[in-house]
Amino acid sequence: MKITVFGSGYVGLVAAACLAEVGNEVLAVDVDEARIARLARGEVPFFEPDLEPLVRANLRAGRLAFTADAQRAVAHGLVQFIAVGTPSDQDGAADLRHVLDVARTIARHLADYRVVAIKSTVPVGTAERVAATLRAELAARGAEAEFDVVANPEFLREGAAVNDFMRPDRIVIGADAPRAEALLRELYAPFSRNHEKIVAMDPRSAELTKYAANAMLATRISFMNEMAVLAERLGADIEKVRLGIGADPRIGYAYLYPGCGFGGSCFPKDLRALRHRAAEVGVEARLLAAVEAVNEAQKRVLFHKIERHFGGRLAGKTLAIWGLSFKPDTDDMREAPARTLMEALWAAGARVRAYDPAAMEEARRLYGRRSDLELADDPYRAAEGADALALVTEWRTFRSPDFARLKTLLRAPVLFDGRNVYDPAVVRRHGFIYHGVGRP
C-alpha cells in the first residue's frame, strides 16, 4: 500500500519507518526542509532506540522517502496519516492548529479517494472537525473528491516506540465508514498476525480511548507517589507496599513505581487537554485535577529533601544530577522532573553538575551556557567534588555504580535516590547517607 505521513516527529517518523519495514511504500512529509534533508540522509534528529537503523534500511530499500512537497505527498498515499504535534494552549486545551493545517493542505491537492487517518493525540470530536475542514476547503476550490476520516491513535512509549509499533498490544481504529476500516485492517494485518489486535469503534470513542489510557497510567503513578508521601510519615517502606499490592492480579505491577514525578510530551499535556475538554461539556474532572496536582508536588520532592538535608543553606553548594530526560532511553526533556529540580536549585543559589546518556545536547539547547550548570561527559565526572548526588532518571547505566569510587569523588557521601533504584541497606553499608522516596 502507498502511505503518506504528515509529520516527522516521534510519532510520524516511527509510524513511517515501521510501515515501510513491512513492505509499504511510505512518503513522509514535513514543512521543515532542513529536517527533511537530514532524514533523507538517514539522520534521525532525536534519540529513539532502533529507529535510525530502521530509517536507513528502508531508505536503502526504496520503501521510505521524505519530502516537503505537499502536492506530491497527497498524490502518493491512499492513506494520509496526520501525525503532527498538538501542544497545550495557555488554558490547557490541545492546540489543533497543525492538525487542521494538514487537513487544509490535503484538501487543496485532493483529487481521488483518500483515507485521512489521525495519529496525533486529539480531543474528542476532532475527526469531525477535520472532515468539516476538508469539505470546506474542497468547496472553496470548487472541487469534489471522496474521503473518509479515521481516528487511529498511537500508543507508543518513548524509548520503546519501534517495538511498540511492531508488536502492539492493540490497534484502535475509529471509523464510521466500512471502506476506510477495511483499508486500515489491511494495512495493519502484518502487525496482528499472532492474534487479533484490532479494536474497531467509532471515531469519538477512539479519540477518548487514547486520553483515557494515558490518564489511567498517570493516575497509577500519582496514586503511588501519594502513598509514598504517606509511607514516609508513617515509617513504612513504599517499595514493600508496592510488591504487596502489585501481587494482586486485579492491580498488577505496571506503573506502580513511586518517584519524583512524571513528565514528557504525553501525560502532562493529555491530562490538561482532557480536563479542558471535560469542562467544555460541563464535567468537572476532579480525579484528573488531583492526579495533576499530586504530580506537580512530587516533582519538587527531591528539592525539598535536599533543602532539608542542608538546613536550607544551598547557596554555594554543588549538586550532581544523574539523568535529565523525563525517562530512560530518550533525549526528551519536556516537563522532565530534572528540570524542576535544577531550576529550584539555581533559585536557591546552588550549582548543578549533570550527566545524561542521551539528553546532553537537549540540555544545552534548553539552557545554553550558564555559570551554575556544568554538563559532564561521564557520570563520575559529574559527582567529582559535588556536595551530594541526586539520581533523577533511572537509566540502566546508573543501576550498579561503583559506590566506593563515588564516595571518594563526592565531597560528602550523600545520595538522593529519586527513583528508588538502590537498596538503602547496601548504599548505607558503603557509608552513604541515603534519601529515597517513600522509605523510612
- Residue 246 has what pLDDT? 97
CB atoms closer than 10 angstroms to residue 245: 15
- Residue 195 has what pLDDT? 83
When pLDDT is averaged across residues 145-152 and rounded to a whole number, the result is: 98
Sign of CA dihedral 261, 247, 163, 52: positive
- Residue 422 has what pLDDT? 98
264 backbone φψ class: left, alpha, beta (φ>0; ψ -120 to 50): left
pTM of the shown model: 0.94
When pLDDT is averaged across residues 119-136 and rounded to a whole number, the result is: 97
- Residue 117 has what pLDDT? 98
| From 96, 102, 266, 320, active-site residue | 266
- Residue 311 has what pLDDT? 97
Residue 260 annotated to the active site:
no
CB–CB of 222/298 below 8 Å?
A: yes
In this predicted model, what pLDDT tens digit does every residue of 241-256 receive, in sequence order?
A: 999 999 999 999 999 9
When pLDDT is averaged across residues 78-99 and rounded to a whole number, the result is: 95
Mean of the per-residue pLDDT values of the chain: 97
pLDDT score of 433 more than 90: yes
Identify the bridge partners of residue 201 per DSSP, sorted by sequence position. 174
CB atoms closer than 10 angstroms to residue 8: 26
- Residue 90 has what pLDDT? 87
The CA distance from 389 to 49, in Å, is: 27
Band (pLDDT 50/70/90 cuts) for residue 411 is very high
- Residue 19 has what pLDDT? 98
Identify the bridge partners of residue 139 per DSSP, sorted by sequence position. none
- Residue 220 has what pLDDT? 98
In this predicted model, what pLDDT tens digit does every residue of 305-329 receive, in sequence order?
A: 999 999 999 999 999 999 999 999 9
In this predicted model, what pLDDT tens digit does every residue of 339-395 receive, in sequence order?
A: 999 999 999 999 999 999 999 999 999 999 999 999 999 999 999 999 999 999 999
Q: Which three cell numbers stand for residue 373?
A: 550548570
- Residue 248 has what pLDDT? 97
The CA distance from 201 to 378, in Å, is: 49
- Residue 309 has what pLDDT? 98
Concatenating the DSSP letter of every residue in 92-121 gives S-B--HHHHHHHHHHHHH--S-EEEEE-S-
Band (pLDDT 50/70/90 cuts) for residue 193 is confident
Sequence-ordered alpha helix ranges (H) in 31-79: 33-40, 51-61, 70-76
- Residue 194 has what pLDDT? 79
